[in-house]
Structure 1
Amino acid sequence: MDGQRHPGVGEIPDHDAGTGGVPQHHPRAGALVINIGSLRVSDVVDFLSAQQEARRHGVPVILDPVDASFTPLRLETSRRLLEQGVEAVRDNYAENLFIAVHHG
């Protein structure tokens, strides 16, 4: 690849590192994908708010708990997002197992 980020077909990026918030939910979005790959403490409230807004509009939420086992912040954020409700989790076996064991 060329090192550039190439959004998926139909993807509408709605969180850009350093913007200080999540824009209003796009009305035509088919789903909200929350990827915690570059998670910072300040992102948690944004992710939870975006999730709540998407669910309010009936938009499915997909969680990608990247490296959930790497830090307590990642695990706790994944837990909180799961508790608020997601329609799907996009993860690998290790992330799935770790979250299952620690989510209760």
Structure 2
Amino acid sequence: MNHSLDGARVAAILAAVGRLRPRVHCLTNTVAQNITANMLLACGAVPSMASHPGEVGAVAAGAGAILINLGTISPEGERAIPALVAVARERGIPLVLDPVFVELSPLRLRLAEAVLGLPGVTVRGNATEMAALAGLVGEAQGVLRVTTGKIDRIEGEGRMFAVAHGHEWMTKVTGLGCAASALVAACRAVEPDAAVAAAAALTAYGIAGEIAAGQAAGPGSFAMHLIDALAGLNEAALTARIG
């Protein structure tokens, strides 16, 4: 059975992000850093993006959630990942993994396996990435699988949420998928139910995309309007578009 969230629940989680202003520490794709930071700020979260292996653990220690994105992995990032996993384990910080192009690289697969050694990781990827990780995810403890596409599917602990919001231009702007993973992390920082957090984040993001598409002339202006739409979301706007 597919579950969905109503506008009031999504709005409440977004309001908690805005009120609590959790910091989301992002070891992320260099192509996506700017738009990821701006999307986090738009929903009320605070981004931090330290990547030096010598400081990343200390910086992430006070975060509300951690994002590890493999999009442009570097030797420095490779060394930083164990420190982030360790601090997440020691302090019970929720961790989201975005396994960008994991199907193309044995290195990425090995790094994803190291992250999945931490119980309770949320993995957000497209269908190809999630298929490449199927064996590892099946063996990991308490993983929440978030597969994004035309219909986003959130699966874990015997439940499945389906989110059918968004716009095709969301696939035409570099970094918007990476930013979606950061929003999942922001919602997870304030919502203890990982599946509900992911469903809220993707519902809000998809609806913001629909609103932005009605104001934009094309993918370039869409990115600007998407940030504005996310910042302006409220319960009325959410409820009006949730069927």
TM-score normalised by the chain length of structure 2: 0.36
- Could you tell me how far 1:50 is from its partner in structure 2? 1.1
1:70 match: 104
On the 8 A contact 2:78/2:111 being kept in 1, the answer is yes
Give per-residue Cα distances to partners, 1:27-79, cap 9 Å, x unaligned. Answer: 2x221011111112332231111121022111101111111011110111111
State the identity %. 28
Structure of greater Rg: 2
1:50 and 2:80 matched: no
Aligned residues: 98
What letter corresponds to residue 33 of structure 1 in structure 2?
A: L
1:41 and 2:75 matched: yes
1:82 match: 116
Distance in structure 1 (CA, Å) of the matches to 2:33 and 2:108: 25
1:18-33 alignment, distance < 5 Å: 19-21=52-54, 22=56, 24=58, 25-27=60-62, 29-33=63-67
Q: 1:5 aligns with which of 34, 45, 62?
A: 34
Distance in structure 1 (CA, Å) of the matches to 2:120 and 2:97: 7
TM-score normalised by the chain length of structure 1: 0.78
Give per-residue Cα distances to partners, 1:72-102, cap 9 Å, x unaligned. Answer: 101111111112334301111110011114x
Structure with the bigger percentage of helix: 2
2:126 match: 92
Distance in structure 2 (CA, Å) of the matches to 1:61 and 1:39: 17
On the 8 A contact 2:68/2:96 being kept in 1, the answer is yes
Pair 1:86–1:37, CA change in 2 (3 A) = farther
Structure with the bigger percentage of strand: 2
Q: Secondary structure at the match of 1:46?
A: helix
2:9 match: none
Distance in structure 1 (CA, Å) of the matches to 2:33 and 2:98: 20
Tell me, which stretches of 5 or more residues in structure 1 are unaligned? none
- Could you tell me how far 1:26 is from its partner in structure 2? 4.5
